Structure 1
């Protein structure tokens, strides 16, 4: 029986840990986007830290956690009802960078697509989403999110 080279077992373990972490972060984003699309306002706002900041590519400036995030989702839901359409989000091309302080820096593409009542879906826009995730009570929370237009990233 041949012994493994020194360090191979450790690299394998690190690789498995990172794969598990990556899958955990993917599940976090899948869940977060699903509750956003369902307009579960309070639950979605709860995926952010109490002092989180959300920067969007709009002239209104950054949104602060809590009531600011909840108002943002409620306003979006009202616009969708008036327009007779539904917005959905898809996150992909996820990059996860663990930091020495235990936070995660992530970057991904976010597709926002609209489905008008009785029609097929179409991509409305593509965004780049960069987050700082922190552990809170065993779960990941967004401490900072910066969303930029894909054509300006």
Structure 2
């Protein structure tokens, strides 16, 4: 599925851009360290993730169950999530809501140091501010594929 190219409607402040970057750095370090409870805490209690295959997990408990079931996949490998090309927009109707679209690359390194690359994705997040901190309210993950020929 090819992704449409979004347009940035308004520029965000440097402070907000840095805050969002730092939020993702902390969130991904938790998941990469297999701290699934800490990762789940970066979502709202009713947060949701829609995976590229269409599976949807709603709420922290459902997310944790899904992550626990997948933990054996990560035995003997180091996983790293790399995000880039963030488009960040505030919601004009709600100053505590931020929409973020970004590209992600996931690497896996085995004990011998061999690195493998996973498919690339485009991710659309809705972040909300609760008690002064950002949390992910929803995440939709789209697997990248070539654009249709014109």
What band does the TM-score fall into relative to the shorter chain?
0.7 to 0.9
Aligned equivalents of 1:105 and 1:119: distance in 2?
36
Aligned equivalents of 1:19 and 1:117: distance in 2?
39
Decide which of 14, 22, 35 is 1:27's aligned counterpart: 22
Aligned equivalents of 1:26 and 1:152: distance in 2?
27
Decide which of 140, 143, 151 is 2:137's aligned counterpart: 143
Aligned equivalents of 1:34 and 1:77: distance in 2?
16
Cα–Cα, structure 1 residues 49 and 37, in superposed 2: closer, same or farther, change >3 Å? Answer: same
Unaligned runs of 5+ in 1: 1-14
Q: Deviations over 1:31-87 (max 9, x none)?
A: 10100000111111010011111000125x201121111123223322111xx3232
Secondary structure (helix, strand or coil) at the match of 1:151 reads coil
Unaligned runs of 5+ in 2: 1-10
> TM-score, normalization: structure 1?
0.81
Cα–Cα, structure 1 residues 106 and 152, in superposed 2: closer, same or farther, change >3 Å? Answer: farther
Aligned equivalents of 1:34 and 1:41: distance in 2?
10
1:80-95 → structure 2 map (5 Å cutoff): 80-81=74-75, 84-95=76-87
**Higher share of residues assigned helix:** 1
> TM-score, normalization: structure 2?
0.83
Aligned equivalents of 1:42 and 1:132: distance in 2?
20
Structure exhibiting the larger radius of gyration computed from Cα positions: 1
Give, in angstroms, the shift of residue 152 of structure 1. Answer: 6.5
Please identify runs of 4+ aligned residues in structure 1 that moved more than 4 A: none
Larger RCO (CA under 8 A, 6+ residues apart): 2
| CA RMSD between the two structures | 1.9
Aligned equivalents of 1:68 and 1:110: distance in 2?
23
Aligned to 2:91: 99
Aligned to 2:65: 71
